[in-house]
Amino acid sequence: MRPRACFCFASVALIANALAQNAVDVVPPEERQKTQQAVVKRQEKRAQQASVIEFRGQQAFNEKELRTQLKEEITTIDDYGLSPARADDLAFFLEVFYRKHGYAKVNVHYVIESQNRVRLDIAEGPLVTLSKVIFDGNINESADKLFEYVVGPTRERYSKLQKTLPFVAADMQEGANLAHRFYVAEGFLDSVVDPPRYVFHDQTNQVDVVIPIHEGRQYFFGSISFTGQAIYDAETLRGQISDLLQQPYTDARVADMPRRIEAYYKARGYFDAKVDATAAPDEGANGRIPVQVVIAAGPVYHFDGVTVSGLDRLHPSFVVKRFSKLQGKTYSPDVLDERFRTLMKTGLFNLLQIKPVPVDGHLLRLDISAEEAKSKEVGFLVGYGTYEGGIVGVQYRDRDLFGYGRPLTTSVEVSQRGYKGEILYEDPFFLDTDFAFKARLAALTFEYDGYTKFELGGRLELTRKITKQDEAGLTFAVRHVKIINADIKPVFLGDENYFVNTVGLTNTLDMRESPYVTPRGFLINNTLDLASNAFGSDIEFIRGTTRLGYYLPLGPKPLTPGVVEDKPGTPLQRWFQQSWIGFGARAGIIHSLTVSGPGEATAIPIDERFFNGGSDTVRSFGERDLGPHDPKGHPIGGEFFTVFNIEYTFPIFGELQGALFTDAGNLLPTSEEPGLDDLRYAIGAGLRYKLPIGPIRLDYGVNPDPHPDEDFGAFHFSFGFAF
């Protein structure tokens, strides 16, 4: 059965709470009636006060929008009454709101008509737009780059595609300040950006903004000296800050040097390392500023014991055992971070804090405080897939079975093509080792085009991280498959009732930074399965698959957290920063270890073969529709396949994205002569809506060379990345 495609998921946590009885005071009817009358009077009074403000003359905005902007001032009048000062506040903040949207000549006059009534007369004036920004004195920095800083505060309130922006004087001043900060971040420490000057064009209601700039000299780093208990040589230490030294001098980069060097020392066990960096601008020559770095490395620390607090249901030994192998080893913050991430991925904790505490003999005790997450939850699934149709499901999960941190999940899922039930048991630290264990038991019935299958079976997985990104695994699966209600002749079906038991190997190298949002990096996945009579299998074969993916964002890599000198770039640059291109390639082969006699059915049953075409393969074909078919037009699969994908994804608005793609692939009936024969293609476009767990996708792929009885193209609605 293919992975489900769904577009909505809701999770409801089950919380067991103790019930406490509260004493209820009996209120006499007379007191209750007085209280209700007082509430009604207050509501009537507030209803009258809500209408004390009258707007006249507004055209650009409706009354509801104006009241929303003056909500705090109106609330103050409702609570404390109307006064000339509060009426003046209404007029002032209303003018601020109009000017913020480009009505530079707005005038609001208030008239107090009675004790609880005020009228705001609005003379909006014309909408004034920004004509051009003129920079006077910039030599080293381009006007286009400075323009993006100046209009940045205004552009934040409008679409990135809007070319004509309203003139807002406060935004221009803020933008000039941002331009000055940019100059300082580029090493122009003496730079001055004067307040903007405005040239109004009354005939066109446009404004030219003139910003005088005095750049001054650009400064760079000069000599870097290391003193104190350095331990390591100067070249090694300079290598930790080499990227900073290649950039212009700024105070922020000087302040970043101690953090970088301290991290280098602490990664090597110097827990108490202290580093201080001091620049001497007055001693600089030819724009080169020297920096002195003072280092106090201190002793090397080693890990000691562990204390755990804050646990209720989970046994403390679960946490302690994750750190027991560290005792006596050299302190490393990277190792602690890795253990922290591993524990948080279990979902057992809302909060986990690991505090190294020095003890005698240069040892570090790890004091761990935790806040447990809800261990039990029920999830409901509602979705739709192009092939499966409507999908509903329910899932119950206990992350902390018997208090030992071993999850148990049961789920039932029903679609328009079938149903599935599953029980999954997991042990993330099998036998208190670095191996992860999964045991899965499932039963399903699914209706494919041309046949329906029933399957009952289980699967055991034992995996281990070789590195942070590389994982290897061993699998053993036992399945009983029965073909029912087939409309395909037996010669194409193969065995219709069989047991298949397989032993397999898996390996995944995942270098992506964010697999669920915008991937960056590459992915390699390989699987190998062997079915043999030696394992009690009715059929014998060997099957292998490989998958390669490379995901390349077109913009630069995000800056390190804490770095303040970020550059907004031009609209075109920001467009490319949010765009990415992906390349994918997949292939698979299955080869029978038995030989079919003349006139006998194929040795590989239909449900063990590969299929091609669909939302995550070649998208110009319907699901499973690429490749060999029987005389009735039902897909019957093949023994060798390839898929190649290229996709360019770009922003449209907010979380909505567009995509252009091209796919290619084939499906050959036998594994005797694998190759790239009979490649089929797709060219198409689609929409993506980004969610934290992956995108919802709508694609249409065009078949550039359709064969007889093939469609021109195909729509696909699905969830997750295509490859």
Distance, C-alpha 450 to centroid of its chain = 39
| Residue 525: Cβ within 10 Å count | 16
Domain layout of the chain by residue ranges:
46-123, 129-214, 220-296, 302-372, 458-557+569-719
To the question of domain 129-214 being in CATH 3.10.20.310, the answer is yes
Cβ pair 270, 335 in contact under 8 A: no
pLDDT averaged over 10-residue windows placed end to end, the chain, 723 residues: 37 33 45 60 50 87 92 89 91 93 93 89 94 94 92 84 87 95 94 95 93 95 95 95 95 95 96 96 90 96 95 95 93 94 94 94 95 94 92 96 95 97 97 94 97 97 94 98 94 94 97 74 95 94 97 65 43 68 96 71 87 96 96 96 96 91 97 93 95 89 93 92 84
Sign, CA dihedral 173-174-175-181, equals positive
**What single-letter DSSP state applies at residue 627?**
S
Cβ–Cβ < 8 Å for 265, 330: no
DSSP state of 669: S
Exposure on the CB side of residue 5, measured as CA atoms within 13 A: 25
Q: Do domains 129-214 and 220-296 have the same CATH topology?
A: yes
Phi, psi of 42 (to 5 degrees): -65, -40
User: Do 290 and 283 meet the contact criterion of CB atoms below 8 Å apart?
Assistant: yes
Q: In Å, how far are 63, 78, 474 from 45, measured between CA atoms?
A: 21, 9, 74
The residue among 380, 325, 313, 323 whose CA lies nearest residue 356 is 323
DSSP for 432-450, written as a single string: GSSEEEEEEEEEEEEEETT
Q: Where are the alpha helices (DSSP H) in 469-520?
A: 490-493
Residues 6+ apart with CB under 8 A from 331: 266, 269, 271, 300, 301, 302, 303, 356, 364
Amino acid at 652: I
What is the distance between the alpha carbons of residues 407 and 722, in angstroms, rounded to a whole number? Answer: 29
According to DSSP, the β-strands at 129-136 and 206-214 are: parallel
Helix 316-323 vs helix 333-345: angle between axes, to the nearest 10 degrees? 140
- Which pairing describes strands 640-653 and 580-592: parallel, antiparallel, or unpaired? antiparallel
Q: How confident is the model at residue 565, as a pLDDT?
A: 40
Q: For position 600, what pLDDT does the model report?
A: 55
| Strand arrangement of the beta sheet that strand 107-114 belongs to | 53-56, 117-123, 107-114
As a whole number of angstroms, the distance between CA 364 and CA 378 comes to: 41
Contact 241, 235 (CB under 8 A): no
Contact 449, 607 (CB under 8 A): no
**CATH class of the domain at 458-557+569-719:** mainly beta
Tell me which CATH code domain 46-123 carries: 3.10.20.310
Q: State residue 601's pLDDT score.
A: 52
What pLDDT is recorded for position 566? Answer: 43
Backbone angles phi, psi at 342, to 5 degrees: -60, -45
Q: Which residues 6+ apart lie within 8 Å of 281 measured at CB?
A: 189, 219, 289
* Per-residue pLDDT at 569: 52
Under CATH, to which class is 302-372 assigned?
Answer: alpha beta
The span from the CA of 215 to the CA of 203, in Å, is 35
Angle at 519 between CA 348 and CA 661, to 5 degrees: 135
Q: d(Cα 194, Cα 678) in Å, to the nearest integer?
A: 68
Tell me yes or no: is domain 220-296 CATH 3.10.580.10: no
Cα–Cα distance between 101 and 402 in angstroms, integer? Answer: 60
Q: What is the pTM of this model?
A: 0.71
E-only strand ranges, 417-561: 418-427, 435-448, 451-465, 470-484, 497-510, 521-531, 541-553
Burial 642-652, CB ≥16 within 10 A → b, else e: bbbbebebbbe
Q: Rounded to whole angstroms, how far apart are CA atoms 274 and 266? A: 10
